[in-house]
Structure 1
């Protein structure tokens, strides 16, 4: 499929901003989704990465694309490749979000690039997000989005990646459809790959529902904070392969002398997401 990269790069510098008050109910719903117990009273420090559930784009049903995402060509460039995934990103934490604060997220398209992968064209869109809490800058985020084509029928399967090891610290998780649905609802994410199994298996050719990249990043970041006993100052991550609801997930962590190296994987499978936390 032809991708006019010069046209798409006209979206560089495009910005949008939205705000939302972090209410105690949202914190309780977030905690329930992750089976955690976090303080939710006004003035309490909010859980790490709850900002991914706040001030998200809101599009009417008539403005959604085939995959349930808002149709492209508004804030994000109209990349003609049908598959869209959260490829990775980074967070720099400058201070806590407090329950009851007004959280504002200002987003800017930083870059649009085109590369050639084993399965065809890959288009990367880099978005910067600045998050404030009652006017205080609390998070600087970089988000990497990748777009790719659907492999043609009969295309050779990719070469298997090495099996991921278990970390010194690890724990298991069952990615049930209910968990994926709840996280989609919290983030107002209409992407059908996370809740519509027929769409996943028939249209997209996946073996099951796809586990959210942001949810994996949230679980790894929370694991890092639990192990260290405090929130990291920086957290970076990269998605290497998808996880589905057809197998358990393991969250892993090892100390590397500079911080914590973390990763997700299914039993016997490759690293799905790798991350690094520093303090």
Structure 2
């Protein structure tokens, strides 16, 4: 018997509001130092290092908007019947370099929800794709996150 209801599955295809952020040389430099990216192009702030987009598009929320695990509540997701979350994978494709002065827009889409049977019972998998484009609507980064709920 499936734990996924038609109501939960109807959330597939749900999209976030676009979020637009500017890339600054200072933010690139700060991120490079904090993460140990020591290549000159990063330390000088001429190009953003890998993973720079992650904190750029993180939501800044109040403490009461965090789950007990310290993760922000994601309004893109439906209410799942299972709640213990685990990382299931992350795939990031870089299509263009990120440079200071770039305005980037991220849109997240819930692309899939499916169920598998684990050793201890049902597992729910869900996938969210975040596309980041520049002002010319060129794809800069595509990030696919998979989470597992048990």
TM-score bin (small chain) = 0.7 to 0.9
Q: How far apart, CA to CA, are the structure 1 residues paired with 2:146 and 2:8?
A: 15
Q: Deviations over 1:222-269 (max 9, x none)?
A: xxxxxxxxxxxxxxxxxxxxxxxxxxxxxxxxxxxxxxxxxxxxxxxx
Structure with more relative contact order (C-alpha pairs < 8 Å, separation 6 or more): 2
Distance 1:69 1:114, change over 3 A: same
Q: Give the structure 1 partner of residue 69 of structure 2.
A: 67
Q: Please show how residues 179-258 of structure 1 align to structure 2 within 5 Å.
A: none
Q: How far apart, CA to CA, are the structure 2 residues paired with 1:19 and 1:11?
A: 24
- 3-state SS of the aligned residue for 1:11? coil
Q: Assess if the C-alpha contact under 8 Å between 2:4 and 2:81 holds in 1.
A: no
Q: Give the structure 1 partner of residue 107 of structure 2.
A: 106
Q: Give the structure 2 partner of residue 145 of structure 1.
A: 147
Q: Deviations over 1:17-48 (max 9, x none)?
A: 2121122232223222222222444xx22112
Q: How far apart, CA to CA, are the structure 1 residues paired with 2:44 and 2:134?
A: 16
- 3-state SS of the aligned residue for 1:92? strand
Q: Give the structure 2 partner of residue 95 of structure 1.
A: 96
Residue 119 of structure 1 and its aligned partner are, at CA, apart by 2.5
Q: How far apart, CA to CA, are the structure 2 residues paired with 1:5 and 1:28?
A: 46
Q: Please show how residues 120-159 of structure 1 align to structure 2 within 5 Å.
A: 120-135=121-136, 136-148=138-150
Q: How far apart, CA to CA, are the structure 2 residues paired with 1:84 and 1:63?
A: 16
The structure where helix makes up a greater share of residues is 1
Q: Give the structure 2 partner of residue 5 of structure 1.
A: 5
Instruction: Decide which structure has the larger Cα Rg and report it.
Output: 1
Q: How far apart, CA to CA, are the structure 2 residues paired with 1:65 and 1:53?
A: 18
Residue 51 of structure 1 and its aligned partner are, at CA, apart by 1.1
Q: Deviations over 1:159-203 (max 9, x none)?
A: xxxxxxxxxxxxxxxxxxxxxxxxxxxxxxxxxxxxxxxxxxxxx
**2:131 is aligned with 1:118:** no
**2:15 is aligned with 1:15:** yes
**2:56 is aligned with 1:54:** yes
Superposition misfits of 4+ residues, deviation over 6 angstroms: none
Equivalences, count: 144
Q: How far apart, CA to CA, are the structure 1 residues paired with 2:112 and 2:15?
A: 12
- 3-state SS of the aligned residue for 1:15? coil
Residue 90 of structure 1 and its aligned partner are, at CA, apart by 2.0
Q: Mind listing any 5+ residue stretches in structure 1 that lack a counterpart?
A: 149-279
TM-score (norm 1): 0.47
Q: How far apart, CA to CA, are the structure 2 residues paired with 1:80 and 1:61?
A: 24
Structure 1 vs Structure 2 CA RMSD: 2.1
Q: Mind listing any 5+ residue stretches in structure 2 that lack a counterpart?
A: none
